[in-house]
Structure formats: structure tokens, C-alpha cells
Structure 1
Amino acid sequence: MAKIVFTVLIFLISIGSMLSQNVGQPGNDSIVNYTDIQGNKQGKWIKKYEKDKIAYIGYFKNNKLVGNYKRWYYSGALKADINYNKDGSVGYAKLFWDDGKLMAKGKYVNQNIKDSIWEYYATDGILMLKESYKNGVLDGNTSAYFRNGQRSKLAPYSNGKLNGVYKEYWEETGITRLEIYYKDGVRYGAINVYYENGKPYLQGNYFCDLPHGKWTVFFKDGKIEKELEYYHGKLKNEDKYNEAFKQQMKKWEQMKGKIPEPSDEDFFSPKQKSQQPNNEY
């Protein structure tokens, strides 16, 4: 009897050893949706919205995605295709619109943190936005584009904050339309606005994110239209401040150089109305 028990124990140990060696290896499909005694996902995982509707297929090693990971929309169209390295520390991603066209591509570190250059595309394939990341934080130039391929905005980031000269451009000519200097995310220094012919429309200054000092507005022929004097955001000569310029100033205050980006949140935890149930990887 003791010999039989010993033989069974040896058999179970050998099975456990085989599982530990094979589970978590991309291409090993013999075991699906396996969780080890530590609660970590291992090996091939298939999650479904419902019967015959796959949400994702991926391979895990110690709860981290490794190898190829694919996620689908509820409709069945491919949503994400990411190739991870052996330890899951780096992944190269392609994200898709629900019609199958490329939405974005770039690099992930630590599973789902953006790094290096990311590009975003419209549904017709036109490049919309290009960003530079460092471990999930904007670092480097962010560029937005018009549909004709001309750059529309250039935003220099350092450690997640605007630093340097933020620019906007006229669509047809590519000539600079707006320049504002930023320091650690705050407007601090010169602002220049230009007509489409390149001649100045406005010249002014910011101090600690507030208009400060002399602001000059020009006619298209280069002649001075008005001169305004600010002191820490307060206009000193309001008699020269017309409604049109007031609205333009309000627009600049609201803008502050921010470029919105498409979200890739749902590529890892989709929340579509039609999805049932809400499966997370």
C-alpha cells in the first residue's frame, strides 16, 4: 500500500513539474485559462464576450502577457495586435478601428505603458498625431497634422509638461500662425500671432501664465492697430480692448497648448455597451 501511495505521489510531482515547465510558453495550447497556486495566469488564455464571440487570446507568464496578444471588438473585427518579448517588458502594438483600418501604433513597456514614438491615424489612414513618450509620460515633440499632411501643431514636452515654444501653423501655407513660450507647463515669455501671409497680428508676453507688459495688435499691412498694457493679467487701458480681441484672448486662455489624443484604454479593458460580460485580462 505504501508503495502504491509513493508511486502516486511521484506521478503527481512529475505532472506538476511538466506543467511548470510548459505553462506560460507561447505556442503551448494544451492547457487553457490556467491559474497557478499563487493566483498568476499562466499559458494560453481565451476570454469571450459570450459563446462564439472571442474578446482576446493571449499568452501569460507569471500574470504578464508574453508573445502575441490579440483582442477583438464585439463585432469580431480585430481591435489590437501586440507582440511582447519573452518577459513581457516590451510590446509592439497595432490598434485598429472597428472597420479594420489602423488607428495607432507604438511601443509599450511594462505591459501597457506607452514609450517612444506613438502614431495615430484617422479612419481613412491619414496621420493625425505623433507623440513621444518616456515610460508613460510625454517627453519630446508632439505633432498634430492637417489632412493635407502639413503639421498643424507642435508641442515640446519634457517630463509631461510643455517646455519651449508651442506652435500652430496655417493649413495651406505651413506658415507659423501662433507661437507661445512655455516653462514647466506654464506660459512664460513671448506670444506671437501671425496673419496667413506671415506678417505679425499680435505680439505680447506672459508672466506666470498671465498676460503682462505691452501687447501690440497689427493691421495686415503691418501698421499698429492698438497697444494694450497688462499688469499680471489685468488690462490697464481697457478703452482699447474691443469685443473681437476679447473673444480671441478668451480662446487662447482656454487652449493653453493642449493637444487631445485618442484613448487606448479599451484595448486592454473594453467597455462597449454591447459587451457581455466585461472581461478583463
Structure 2
Amino acid sequence: MFEKQFVHNIKNHPMKKSALLILLFVLGSALLFSQNMDEKNGPWRSTYPDGSVKSTGQFNHNIPYGEFIHYYKSGIKQSVTVFDNQGIQARNSTWYESGNLMAEGKYINKQKDSTWSYYGDSIDQLIAVEQYAKGKLEGKSITYYPGTKQATEVILYHNGIKQGDLRKYFPNGQVMTEGTYLNGKLEGLFTLYYPDGSTQLKGIYKNGEQAGEWKYYSITGKEITYEEFIYQQSTSIEADDPDKSGEKIQPF
């Protein structure tokens, strides 16, 4: 039930689609480092309950080396991991059952490291690029509109926590949102734009909460609403605007 609802919620949303595909890869690749590590030497393989091959590889006193291959139950290749440096480092490529590339990147000491790239199945196109250090996001993380080279979101991480500039984009490349993260929470000026580049709203975040005066603008650039946020309470004051549709603009 949870899986059905989860898939339903991400339908037709490029950023959430990217998140789902990355999650599916993480769940699948966990098999790589979750095998029973009883004493293993030489060629090795594991099987599914029906006897079909699940994984093949080779060990030297429990240290994996060379090429390991994992298969779907259908017999189609799922991933190839090549170990070197006494099993400390490994390069991984993972495919969908369709044969399209899902993800590729590097492990060091069983943790993601350096650049990881993720791809969509139906379009076989790059959908996200992430940077890792010791298993945690580190540096720039980019998601893309499917089938394009246009980023949907660019965000910075440090030690697995959002830290630094945030930018989201419209499909035409125009900036949609600008903000800053401090220790995982929005901090400072936050701006939302219309597709033509004009400002839709702007305000200040403090410790992840809206604070002070937030201003809302019409597409023509006229201020139509502002809100004053004090201790998580707000008072909305409407400006006189004959062009206003009557529907309040929301920041999210």
C-alpha cells in the first residue's frame, strides 16, 4: 500500500521522479554489501530460491576482487561492480531490467564517494548528479528535467546537510527560486520568481521559519500583499490592486 501511494505521489513531478529513482537504486545496490561474509575464497555465487543465479564474483580470504555481477530474477544483468585496491575501492554500474543505465559511481570502504550519476529508465537520460564523501552528500547536487540538460534544482551539501545556496529553475532556464541553507535550514533572503524573471514574492527566513515582512507581487510588478511573521503568527494586509484576481499568492 505504501509503495503504491509513494509512486502515485511522484507521478508527473520531475524532481520527485528523480528522488524515487535514486531511492530505488539505493535499495537495489544495498545487496552489494549485505552478503553473508563467512570465509570465502575463489569463485563465488549466490542464487535465488528457484536456483537461478543472483550474483557471481570472487574472493581472496573474504576480500572481494575483480568483477562482481548481480542479476534480476529474470536473468538480466542488474549491476557490475569492479573491486580494486584490496577491495577498498569499487566502481559500480547499475541497470534497469529494461537494460537502460540506472546509476554509476564509486564506493570507498563500502560507502559512496566522489561523483554519482543517475538516469531515467523510459528516457535513458541523466536526471541527477550528486557528490559524496565517505557516504555523505558533499558539494553540489543537481537534478534535471527529464530528457533535457536543464537543471530543476541545484543545492549545496556539507557532511550530508544542506549548506549554502539553493536555486530552482523553470524549464526555460529562468531562475524560479533563490535561497540559502544554514545547517539544513533556510536562512536569510528567499525569493520566488515568475517565469519571465520578475519577482513573485520575497522575504526572510530565520532558522527555517518565515520571519519579518514578506511581500507578494503581481506579474506586472505591483505589490499586492504583504505578511508580517512574528513568532510563527502572521497578519495579512491586502494592498489596493485593481488587477488582482482575488486569489492569494502562496510562497509554496
Please tell me the TM-score bracket, short chain as reference. 0.7 to 0.9
Q: Could you say which residue in structure 2 is the equivalent of 1:263?
A: none
Secondary structure of the residue aligned to 2:74 is coil
**2:63 is the counterpart of 1:78:** no
Larger CA deviation: 225-234 vs 151-160? 225-234
- Give TM-score scaled by structure 1 length: 0.70
Identity of aligned residues (%): 27
CA–CA distance in 1 between the matches of 2:86 and 2:248?
Answer: 58
- Give TM-score scaled by structure 2 length: 0.78
Cα gap change, 1:193 to 1:62, in 2 (>3 Å): same
Q: Encode CA deviations 1:71-110: one digit per residue, 9 max, x unaligned.
A: 0000011001011104010001100000111000000111
Structure 1: stretches of 5+ with no match in the other structure: 1-34, 253-281
CA–CA distance in 1 between the matches of 2:232 and 2:63?
Answer: 51
Structure number having the greater strand percentage:
2
Q: Could you say which residue in structure 2 is the equivalent of 1:151?
A: 151
Q: Could you say which residue in structure 1 is the equivalent of 2:167?
A: 167
Q: Could you say which residue in structure 2 is the equivalent of 1:46?
A: 45
Secondary structure of the residue aligned to 2:59 is strand
**2:120 is the counterpart of 1:122:** yes
The answer as to whether partners of 1:61 and 1:87 remain within 8 angstroms in 2 is no
Larger CA deviation: 197-206 vs 53-62? 53-62
The answer as to whether partners of 2:63 and 2:87 remain within 8 angstroms in 1 is yes
Q: Which consecutive segments of 4 or more residues in structure 1 shift more than 6 A?
A: none
Residue 116 (structure 1) shift: 0.4
**2:96 is the counterpart of 1:102:** no
Report the number of matched residues.
Answer: 209
The answer as to whether partners of 1:210 and 1:232 remain within 8 angstroms in 2 is no
RMSD between aligned residues? 2.0
CA–CA distance in 1 between the matches of 2:94 and 2:187?
Answer: 37
The answer as to whether partners of 1:179 and 1:191 remain within 8 angstroms in 2 is yes
CA–CA distance in 1 between the matches of 2:65 and 2:247?
Answer: 59
Quick one: which amino acid aligns to residue 145 of structure 2?
F
CA–CA distance in 2 between the matches of 1:63 and 1:231?
Answer: 60
CA–CA distance in 2 between the matches of 1:41 and 1:103?
Answer: 29
CA–CA distance in 2 between the matches of 1:44 and 1:219?
Answer: 68
CA–CA distance in 1 between the matches of 2:247 and 2:230?
Answer: 20
CA–CA distance in 1 between the matches of 2:57 and 2:247?
Answer: 58
Residue 51 (structure 1) shift: 5.5
Secondary structure of the residue aligned to 1:163 is strand
Give the number of the structure whose alpha-carbon radius of gyration is greater: 1
Q: Encode CA deviations 1:111-160: one digit per residue, 9 max, x unaligned.
A: 3x110000000012111111000010000010000122211100100111
Structure 2: stretches of 5+ with no match in the other structure: 1-35, 240-245
CA–CA distance in 1 between the matches of 2:84 and 2:120?
Answer: 29
Larger CA deviation: 56-65 vs 82-91? 56-65
Residue 50 (structure 1) shift: 4.2
Quick one: which amino acid aligns to residue 110 of structure 1?
N
Quick one: which amino acid aligns to residue 115 of structure 1?
D
